[in-house]
Amino acid sequence: MDRKLELIDLKKAYTPKVVPVKNISLDVQQGEFLTLLGPSGCGKSTILRLIAGLEQPTSGRVMINGRDVSRLSPGDRNIAMVFQSYALYPHMTVYENIASGLKLRKTPHAEIKDRIREVADFLGLHELMDRKPSQLSGGQRQRVAVARALVRRPDLFLLDEPLSNLDALLREHVRAELKQLFGSQNAPIVYVTHDQTEAMTLSTKVAVLNNGYLQQLDRPDVIYSHPATQFVAGFIGSPQMNFLQVPCDDGNAYVGATIIPLPKGSTTPKSIVLGIRPEHVHLAQGQNEPILKGEVFLTENLGMHDLVSARIANATGEAMNVRAILPVHSGFRNGSTAGLAFPIEQIHWFDTTTGDRISNNPSPMMA
C-alpha cells in the first residue's frame, strides 16, 4: 500500500485572535521528504503537532495512508517523532529509551532485540546501550532520539528542528548523516526548521510558510529560481535578494536612468517591485543588459567573494541600495562608481500590493 500524508484545509485557532494555522492543504507521498520552512511564529511547529496528534485541529483533516486520524491520539497514528530537545527519558538507559515504543505495542522480545541491533549498527550506538541520557554528549543523544524513531518503522516520520541544539560544526556533519539515514527510508518524512540550508539540502519538497498560510510548495530548486511571492523570494537565498520599488510606464520599468522592459502580456502597473539576487548582479562588461551606475559605500569580504553595497539614484532622486556578490579584490573603494549589470532573465517582478509574482519565465510544473 502506498504511504501518504494528506493535510486538508487544516486550521488551528486557540482564540478568535490567535490563529497560528489558517488554511493548510498539502500532501507528502511515500519516499518524499517535505520541509516546513518559515520564520518563528509562521505556524510550522503547530502544523507538526497537529499531524502528530499533540494538538487537535479546529477544522480540517489529517489523513495518514487514507485513514482520517484527526481524532486519534498520537500513539494510535503509527508515527514516530524526533524532538528538538531529543526528549530522552532520563531515568531509562539508551536501550530502554529506544525500546519504549515497541514495548508499549507489545512487540515480541526477540523482535525488539533484532530491530534495536539493526538500528544500533546503523547509528553506531553499541557501546552506549547501557548508559543513561545524562552520560551522553549532545550528538550522541540526538542519535539515540533518531534511533528511537527509526526502530518503530512507522507510517510517517516527524522531525522538529532536530539540529537546532547542535553547534555549527556538528550540525553540518549530522545534516549529511540525516540525509543518508532517511534517504533509505520509504515512509514520508515531515521536517520542521527555520534554517533554509537544511531545507534546501535535505528535502525533496519545501513548504514555505508565513503567518499560518502556505506561501509556496515546490522542489527546492524551483523555490529558489521561481519564488511565488516576495516573501518567499526574500526568505530563501543568502545574502537576501535585492528589492527595488520602481515606477513603470508603457511596458517599462524605470530604475534611475536605466530602462528595463517588463514581461509581456500584462497591463503596466504604476509601480512594481524588482527583485534580483546579489549573486546574479555582476560587473558590466558591455553586454546587451541593463546597466546601473552605483556609488559603492561598503565592501564586506565573505571569504570566497565580496559583498559590495552600492547606492543608486532613483528617478525622483531617492537613493536605493543594491548589493552584489563580486569577485574578491574587484578594486572598489568607498566612493568609487561601479557599473552593475542586471541580467533580464534573472530579474523577478512582484506586485507592490500583494507581493505575488508577476510572470517572468514560465515556471516548471509544481511537483
Partner 1 sequence: MKDILREREQRTGWLLTIPALLILALVFAYPIVRAFWQSLFVQNLGTQLNPEFTGVANFGRMAQDGRFWRTMFNSAVFTFSSVFLELILGMGIALVLNQQFRGRGAVRTIAILPWALPTALIALGWTWIFNDQYGIVNDILLRFGLIKTGINWLGDPTLAMISVTLADVWKTTPFISILLLAGLQSISNDLYEAQAIDGASPWQSFRQITLPLLMPQVVIALLFRLAQAFGIFDLISVMTGGGPGGATETVSLYIYSTIMRYLDFGYGAALVVVTFLLLVFAVAIAAYFLTRSRAKAAGEI
Partner 2 sequence: MTTVFPDAIISKKPRAKIGRKIVLPMAIALTVIFCLAPILWQLLTSVKLNADIAAIPNVYFPTRYTLDHYRELFQRRPFLNYILNSAIVSFASTLLALGVGAPAAYALARLRLQGERWILAAVLIVTLFPPILLFLGLLEVVRYLQLGNNYLALIIPYTAINLPLTILVMRSFFQQLPKDLEDAAKVDGYSTPRMLLEIVLPMTIPALVTTGILTFISAWNEFIFALTFITREDMKTVPVAGAQLGGASPFEIPYGPLAAATVLGTIPLVLLVLFFQRRIVQGLTAGAVKG
Position 113 contacts partner 1 (CB under 8 A) = no
Binds 336: which of partner 1, partner 2, none (CB < 5-8 Å by kind): none
For residue 163, the minimal CB distance to partner 2 (Å) is: 15
| Residue 238 lies near partner 2 (rule: CB under 8 A) | no
56-64, 152-160, 203-211, 234-242 -> range binding partner 1 (CB under 8 A): 56-64
Closest by CA position to 282, among listed 255, 322, 232, 253: 322
Q: Reduced to 3 states, what is the DSSP secondary structure of residue 173?
A: helix
Instruction: Pick between residue 60 and residue 269 the one whose CB is nearest to partner 1.
Output: 60
Q: For residue 244, how many other CB atoms are within 10 A of its CB?
A: 19
Q: Choosing among partner 1, partner 2, none, which partner's interface includes residue 75 (Cβ < 5 to 8 Å by kind)?
A: partner 2
The residue within the footprint of partner 2, chosen from 101, 234, 269, 343 (CB under 8 A), is 101
Specify the residue, 67 or 103, whose C-beta has the smaller distance to partner 1: 67
Total interface residues for partner 2 by CB under 8 A: 23
- Which one of residues 19, 30, 61, 83 is an interface residue with partner 2 (CB under 8 A)? 83
71 binding partner 2? (CB under 8 A): no
Q: What secondary structure does DSSP assign to 245-264, as a single string?
A: EEEEETTEEEETTEEEEPPS
Distances (CA, A) of 211 to 5, 6, 69, 237: 22, 21, 25, 20
9, 39, 41, 56: which one binds partner 1 (CB under 8 A)? 56
- Give CA separation, 340 vs 153, 243, 252, 292, in Å: 54, 15, 19, 5
Q: How many CB atoms lie within 10 A of CB 130?
A: 10
54 binds partner 2 (CB under 8 A): yes
Residue among 70 and 196 whose Cβ is closer to partner 1: 70
- Compute how many other C-beta atoms are within 10 angstroms of the C-beta atom of residue 213: 16
Instruction: Report how many residues bind partner 1 under the rule CB under 8 A.
Output: 7
Task: Report the residue number, 155 or 218, with the smaller CB distance to partner 2.
Answer: 155
**Would you call the peptide bond into 239 cis, given omega within 30 degrees of 0 as the criterion?**
yes
Handedness of CA 112, 142, 75, 24 (dihedral sign): negative
Residue 71 interacts with partner 1 (CB under 8 A): yes or no: yes
Determine if 261 is a binding residue for partner 2 (CB under 8 A).
Answer: no
Distance CA 295, CA 311 (A): 5
Nearest distance from C-beta of residue 132 to partner 2, angstroms: 12
CA distances from 149 to 12, 45, 49, 80, 349 (A): 26, 18, 16, 5, 43
Exactly one of 15, 40, 73, 267 binds partner 2 (CB under 8 A); which one?
73
Nearer to partner 2, 17 or 91 (CB): 91
- How far, in whole angstroms, is CA 97 from its chain's centroid? 30
Which partner from the list partner 1, partner 2, none does 59 bind, CB cut-off 5 to 8 Å by kind?
partner 1
* Nearest-approach distance from CB 47 to partner 2, in angstroms: 15
| Distance in angstroms (rounded) separating the CA atoms of residues 63 and 70 | 7
Burial class (CB in 10 A: 0-12, 13-18, 19+), 170: middle
Tell me the closest approach of the beta carbon of residue 207 to partner 2, in angstroms: 22
Binding residues for partner 2, rule: CB under 8 A, are: 52-54, 73-76, 79-81, 83-91, 100-101, 104-105
Binding residues for partner 1, rule: CB under 8 A, are: 55-59, 70-71
